Amino acid sequence: MVTIRKPKQSRSKNTYKSIVDAGFISVKNNGLDHTTVLKVCEIAGVGSGSFYEYFKNKEALFVEMQQHFIAELAKVIYEVIPTIQEMEIPEAIRSIFLHIGEFLAADENKYFYWLSVSSKYSTEASHVKAVKAINTLAIEYAVKHPEVLKIKNLKLMVYVLINSSVALTMNFFSSQNMGFTFEELIDCLIDITMSYIDDDRNKLKI
């Protein structure tokens, strides 16, 4: 079990959320290995008893943080769907990229730092949640743009696009003097995607 119990009352939910948020802050400030239950409790402003009421140990907290991160990322994906439905593909890609970038940079980059160390805490449930959001985005966009249904492996392409947006954003902002701007990085991803789509369309004409 990841947690001892899920909070039901408003006050308990606030305490629970404070602990999870404090986990992200501690990982950012102290790193994963040097994050301790004591440090998390100090940041959250709660006693260790409150921590252990919900979590067995810090590893359980890390698993819960990853589930929270994926849930928030899925929320961003769902929220961007109405925004991109009337856009052409290049503009839609740019909007997705920028929304994910804003999400990772929120609250002084707390998700950005977590993403760089969190892979081993992924679970099947969190993966399914992310894939469901990505598939929904692909389907909803296709409703407004039925021509994209002709693209080979549409859902796979959107999956790669979303994951590329996350990974490339993280790599860009964790590196120094890349020699190109974030906008140029987005333009490059758009060019690669459109090249794939154009090539696929040309094959259909043969």
In order of 49, 53, 140, 198, the CA distances from 27 in angstroms are: 21, 21, 36, 43
Cα(43)–Cα(197) distance, rounded to whole angstroms?
48
The 10s digit of each residue's pLDDT in 182-204 is 899 999 999 998 998 888 777 65
User: Is a pLDDT exceeding 70 seen at residue 21?
Assistant: yes
List CB contacts of 80: < 8 A, sequence separation 6 or more: 95, 96, 99, 137
Range of lowest pLDDT (88-92, 132-136, 147-151):
147-151
What pLDDT score was predicted for residue 48?
A: 94
What pLDDT score was predicted for residue 18?
A: 95
Sign of the dihedral through C-alpha 111, 2, 130, 77: negative
User: What is the average pLDDT score of the chain?
Assistant: 87
Largest CA distance in the chain: 68
In order of 6, 55, 66, the CA distances from 59 in angstroms are: 16, 9, 11
What pLDDT score was predicted for residue 7?
A: 64
Range of lowest pLDDT (12-16, 55-59, 119-123, 200-204):
200-204
User: Tokens 């259909």 belong to which residue?
Assistant: 204
Helix, strand, coil percent content, the chain, rounded in steps of 5: 80, 0, 20
What pLDDT score was predicted for residue 204?
A: 54
Fold of 1-56: Arc Repressor Mutant, subunit A (1.10.10)
What pLDDT score was predicted for residue 47?
A: 94
Coil/strand/helix, residue 3? strand
The 10s digit of each residue's pLDDT in 51-89 is 999 999 999 999 999 999 999 999 999 999 999 999 999
| pLDDT band at residue 1 using 50, 70 and 90 as cut-offs | very low
The closest of 22, 64, 65, 16 to 43, measured between CA atoms, is 22
Half-sphere exposure (CA, 13 Å, Cβ side) for 47? 3
Predicted TM-score (pTM) of this structure: 0.84
Query: Tell me, what DSSP letter sits at residue 86?
Result: T
